[in-house]
Amino acid sequence: MDGSITNGSPQSTSRRAFLKASAATAATGLVLGAGAKEAKAFAYEPYPRDDDLETVVTSCAHNCGSRHMLVAHKKGDVIVRLSTDNGTYQGDAYGTDTEEKPQLRACLRGRSYRSRLYSPERLLYPMKRVGARGEGKFKRVTWDEALSDIAQRMVYLRDTYGPTALLDQSYAGASYGVLHKSDQIEGLLGRFMGMFGCRTSSWSVPSYQGTTFSSRTTFGTIQDGNEDDAFAHSKLIIMWGWNPAYTFHGGNTFYYMRMAKQRGCKFVLVDPQYTDSASAYDAWWIPIRPNTDAAMMAGMAYHIWDNDWHDQAFIDRFVQGMDKGTMPGWAQGQESFKDYIFGERDGVAKTPEWAAEICGVKAEDIKKLAEMYATTKPAALKASWSPGRNAYGEQYNRMAAALQSMTGNIGILGGCAEGVGKAWHAEAVAYPYDQFANVWYASIKSDRWAHCVLNYPNLKREEIGLWPRMDQLDGVAPNIRGIFWQGSDWLNQLTNINKEIAAIRKLDSYGEGESLLVCMDSTITPTGIWADYLLPIATHFERHDVALPWYKGHYYIHRPVVIQPLGESKTDFQVFTELAYRLGFGPGYNPRATRDYFNDPTQVDEAYLVAWWDNVRHHQGVEWDWETFKKRGVYKFVLPEPHVAFRPQIEQGMPFETPSGKIEIFSTTLAQTPDWTRTQYGYEIPAIPKWIEPWESLNHPKAKEFPFHMISPHPRWRTHSIFNNIPWLRETFAQETMMNASDAEKMGIRTGDTIECWNERGRVITPVYVSERCMPGVVVLHEGAWMDLDEDGVDRSGNPDFLTLDNPSPAGAFAYNTVLCNVKKSDLNHRPGWDKLSTARSHVFRRDL
């Protein structure tokens, strides 16, 4: 025992000895015959054999970057094993996996889902808070008690504080399904609160609000994506802040990128860290100072023009405002993009040398990349969302669109116009998506809610991105008194957590009954700990739905009720329907249901889904009926050619969905906005893409005090905060901060030490990983760790959102990656996750408090 703790070798010796012994036993068993146990050569004993199990096709449901098939193997009502697509489920031969119809094979998170489903953190009963908010003390109550009290308090808050008193913080926890949705626009909560007559909605998407703005401004749509198989046809792929080996982005991205590699495609990575995607494809790594991407791209544009490598015919035909000749008549004399790049107005030519000073990339490298991109056809500049999750992130994405346009890489196979990158169109909505969907009485920028609460009523509209309906343009700021978290762990995931906690304290100060916090989730979460009520929600294994692809992919996966809901959990739809009945609008909210829906949703859910499927058959030419789809479990469309965004515009001259019908590098809408204070942005946004200095970066004077730029990418082993409590996954990757070897050496820091990263907003503790894969001056810490504050206000889990800033970028981008901090060694313990604490938190489940 002692030996196995202090030193691994005795353990491994005994493991080897054990294996030897069991091999010997098995061998003897064969020889001995009668009397010994019959050898069936079954590896999984004592687990049930496949023949004893029922096999059910389903899929994951979260905001995880993709959508794959899971196959549940169950005995009775218990899932004993999960596997994934093996090619057979659509009726093909085992192993079928083609370029046109690839398998949808699950990642490590999906495959470990069983341990999340049955985790000790599962919420099984409605819980009511009995301690202070955030203390984590709850008692079990009945559904009736919880829902009566919630309904009563909702009415009181609405009637006392008006139709904006309740804040909708639903988010994409349950996304890319057709019936049980938790998003801000098509979600179940938005419709429920809208019909109730009290809702402040949260506009702006953490993922890519700056990118959305860019895609809409430039192309008039966020459907600017190709299907992933188009990557197989590129000759050059520039992964700009894109790491699909880690951060999933569509169905089978890596498979098609490998095909491209096999066909001779070259790869480049522009990123402060050297990623696994780069090493997989032997990419040329260009380390860049975080948040300076727009400057580097401007330098590339200069070099391309300077050498006449641009595609003038493409520009003249399809683009507005790229140069003087393509400025619209009404804007003659205004600054075009080329004017800006050559410094005609500001006297600053955006040369590669100018850019090199800002972004830390050598001018020769900027030139070399510009040449590669402009002279290799077709080339995919995949400008991912992360560098846009920054102060002025919208400028980076618009600048990328300018490069994609000037090289004529839009609308052609092997090129790339992404952006947001939504590709093939999925029929997305099943439940009644009618005039009551997404009704709001005020809308604020999502991560300014704490600012709104803390400063109410002394707020300027632009401070919180307040966006009342047009007829209420002079509306006042909402007096937020309640929050519903549904499918979101937003207290843990939005920016500047300490400020959010201060906002909750302010709600506390209003007194008992004067505010309401409700968290609907399938597990206890760091957010839930702060709620007054925890409502246990059935997972996607426990309710009926259909899975949609995440941004890319052309298939539908059936998602049956695989097992009965654990404990007393109910679906979100059941809960809102029952609450709606209590509040007087049940039949309107869920027209197909009666009140018995709370007891049994089976028939009603089926009816919604059948209606949806009929729509799919009608619009998308699917030959299968609903029963066949249910039997097979998956329907994969085979497209006649890879889907490429804007092909019809380029090949057939269809107009783009912009005001001018062209790709708008010079934006009609932005140029014609007379008063920025009357938009939800509040601040001026230039009509052409420009480099704008972010409010924190390594070039900022503040870097003297806080010399490290922290970026917080998405973890391979989690979906944001989901799966943080799964020990299997934490065995694969650890929450740690990566820093550069020369920085670490100067500070006497070595791999495995514990460090503190801090700035004026917060402090976090993690182990450190010292590596050359991270450029000097940068630290990398993945988002999504379950916050765990100690009594001194230090977060021991290593959640970067204690350090992020909630200031909005003008177009609404969350500035998650605009963070300066400092680093030092620490004696404090890192606490990797709550499973270590689950006994400490087990009072959550106690009935008798």
Min dist. Cβ of residue 479 to ligand MGD (A)? 24
Question: Considering only residues 718-747, where is the footprint of ligand SF4 by CB under 6 A?
Answer: 719
Which neighbouring-strand residues pair with 270? 240, 286
Min dist. Cβ of residue 339 to ligand MGD (A)? 26
Specify the DSSP class assigned to residue 523: B
Q: Which amino acid is at 160?
A: T
**Residue pair 722/62 in contact by the 8 Å Cβ criterion:** yes
Min dist. Cβ of residue 248 to ligand SF4 (A)? 5
Min dist. Cβ of residue 445 to ligand MGD (A)? 14
Question: Considering only residues 316-345, where is the footprint of ligand SF4 by CB under 6 A?
Answer: none
Binding site partner of 60, from ligand MGD, ligand SF4, Mo ion, none, Cβ cut-off 5-8 A by kind: ligand SF4
Which neighbouring-strand residues pair with 545? 559
Phi/psi of residue 756, each to 5°? -110, 130
- Closer to ligand SF4 by Cβ: residue 65 or 299: 65
User: For every residue of 767-835, which 3-state class applies, written as one string?
Assistant: EEEEECCECCCEEECCCCCCCCECCCCCECCCCHHHCCCCCCCCCCCCCCCCCEEEEEECCCCCCCCCC
Q: Which amino acid is at 760?
A: E
Q: Which amino acid is at 588?
A: G
Which residue stretch of 106-114, 205-213, 328-336, 444-452 sits at the interface with ligand SF4 (rule: CB under 6 A)?
Answer: 106-114
Q: Is 53 in the site for ligand SF4 (CB under 6 A)?
A: no
Q: How far apart are CA 215 and CA 221, in angstroms?
A: 6
Residue 430: HSE in the Cβ half-sphere, 13 Å Cα cutoff: 25
Q: How far apart are CA 694 and CA 712, in angstroms?
A: 17
Binding site partner of 797, from ligand MGD, Mo ion, ligand SF4, none, Cβ cut-off 5-8 A by kind: none
Q: How far apart are CA 280 and CA 260, in angstroms?
A: 12
* Tokens linked to 652: 């057939």
- Closer to ligand SF4 by Cβ: residue 177 or 241: 177
Binding site partner of 764, from Mo ion, ligand MGD, ligand SF4, none, Cβ cut-off 5-8 A by kind: none
Q: Which amino acid is at 17?
A: A
Binding site partner of 280, from ligand MGD, Mo ion, ligand SF4, none, Cβ cut-off 5-8 A by kind: none
Strand order of the sheet with strand 266-270?
Answer: 284-286, 266-270, 236-240, 379-383
Q: Is 207 in the site for Mo ion (CB under 5 A)?
A: yes
Q: Is 109 in the site for ligand SF4 (CB under 6 A)?
A: yes
* Tokens linked to 739: 């820093």
Q: Which amino acid is at 443?
A: S
Binding site partner of 725, from Mo ion, ligand MGD, ligand SF4, none, Cβ cut-off 5-8 A by kind: none
Q: Is 107 in the site for ligand SF4 (CB under 6 A)?
A: yes
Min dist. Cβ of residue 759 to ligand MGD (A)? 13
Binding site partner of 226, from Mo ion, ligand SF4, ligand MGD, none, Cβ cut-off 5-8 A by kind: none
Residue 653: HSE in the Cβ half-sphere, 13 Å Cα cutoff: 2
Q: Is 495 in the site for Mo ion (CB under 5 A)?
A: no
Q: Is 110 in the site for ligand SF4 (CB under 6 A)?
A: yes
Q: Is 60 in the site for ligand SF4 (CB under 6 A)?
A: yes
Q: Is 390 in the site for Mo ion (CB under 5 A)?
A: no
Question: Considering only residues 239-258, where is the footprint of ligand SF4 by CB under 6 A?
Answer: 248
- Closer to ligand SF4 by Cβ: residue 177 or 808: 177
- In the list 56, 72, 82, 106, the residue contacting ligand SF4 (rule: CB under 6 A) is 106
**Residue pair 492/506 in contact by the 8 Å Cβ criterion:** no
Instruction: For residue 643, give the 3-state DSSP assignment.
Output: coil
- Per the listing, tokens 């009963």 go with 125
Helices H / strands E in the chain, number of each: 26, 26
Binding site partner of 68, from Mo ion, ligand SF4, ligand MGD, none, Cβ cut-off 5-8 A by kind: ligand SF4
Q: Is 363 in the site for ligand SF4 (CB under 6 A)?
A: no
Phi/psi of residue 83, each to 5°? -130, -165
Residue 744 CB burial class (10 angstroms; 0-12, 13-18, ≥19): buried
Min dist. Cβ of residue 780 to ligand MGD (A)? 6
Identify each DSSP E strand in 674-761 by its residue range: 708-711, 737-740, 754-759
- Closer to ligand MGD by Cβ: residue 187 or 220: 187
Specify the DSSP class assigned to residue 167: E
Phi/psi of residue 447, each to 5°? -90, 20
- Closer to Mo ion by Cβ: residue 207 or 495: 207
Q: Which of 382, 398, 463, 374 is nearest to 677 (CA)?
A: 463
- Closer to ligand MGD by Cβ: residue 400 or 593: 400
**Residue pair 154/553 in contact by the 8 Å Cβ criterion:** no
Q: Are strands 54-59 and 69-75 parallel, antiparallel or unpaired?
A: antiparallel
Phi/psi of residue 95, each to 5°? 90, -5
Binding site partner of 106, from ligand MGD, Mo ion, ligand SF4, none, Cβ cut-off 5-8 A by kind: ligand SF4
- Closer to ligand SF4 by Cβ: residue 548 or 563: 548
Which neighbouring-strand residues pair with 763? 758
- In the list 56, 57, 65, 448, the residue contacting ligand SF4 (rule: CB under 6 A) is 65
- Closer to ligand SF4 by Cβ: residue 66 or 226: 66
Chain residues in the site for ligand MGD (CB under 6 A): 62-65, 171-174, 180, 182, 206-207, 240-243, 247-249, 270-273, 275, 288, 290-291, 293, 384-387, 389-390, 486-490, 493, 520-523, 525, 537, 572, 711-716, 718-722, 783-784, 800-801, 804, 816-817
Min dist. Cβ of residue 224 to Mo ion (A)? 17
Other C-beta atoms within 10 Å of 32: how many?
A: 12
* Tokens linked to 452: 């709104």
Which residue stretch of 199-207, 506-514, 609-617, 683-691 sits at the interface with Mo ion (rule: CB under 5 A)?
Answer: 199-207
Question: Considering only residues 67-86, where is the footprint of ligand SF4 by CB under 6 A?
Answer: 67-68
Q: How far apart are CA 230 and CA 411, in angstroms?
A: 11
Min dist. Cβ of residue 784 to ligand MGD (A)? 6
Min dist. Cβ of residue 62 to ligand MGD (A)? 6
Binding site partner of 487, from ligand SF4, ligand MGD, Mo ion, none, Cβ cut-off 5-8 A by kind: ligand MGD
- Closer to ligand MGD by Cβ: residue 336 or 384: 384
Binding site partner of 721, from ligand MGD, Mo ion, ligand SF4, none, Cβ cut-off 5-8 A by kind: ligand MGD
Min dist. Cβ of residue 828 to ligand MGD (A)? 21
Binding site partner of 182, from ligand MGD, ligand SF4, Mo ion, none, Cβ cut-off 5-8 A by kind: ligand MGD
- Per the listing, tokens 């004529």 go with 408
* Tokens linked to 711: 């970026």
Report the residue number whose CB is nearest to ligand SF4.
Answer: 110
Which residue stretch of 103-111, 287-295, 395-403, 530-538 sits at the interface with ligand SF4 (rule: CB under 6 A)?
Answer: 103-111
Q: How far apart are CA 423 and CA 250, in angstroms?
A: 10
Residue 34: HSE in the Cβ half-sphere, 13 Å Cα cutoff: 0
- Kindly list the residues in this chain that would bind Mo ion in the complex (CB under 5 A): 207
- Kindly list the residues in this chain that would bind ligand SF4 in the complex (CB under 6 A): 60, 64-68, 106-107, 109-110, 248, 719
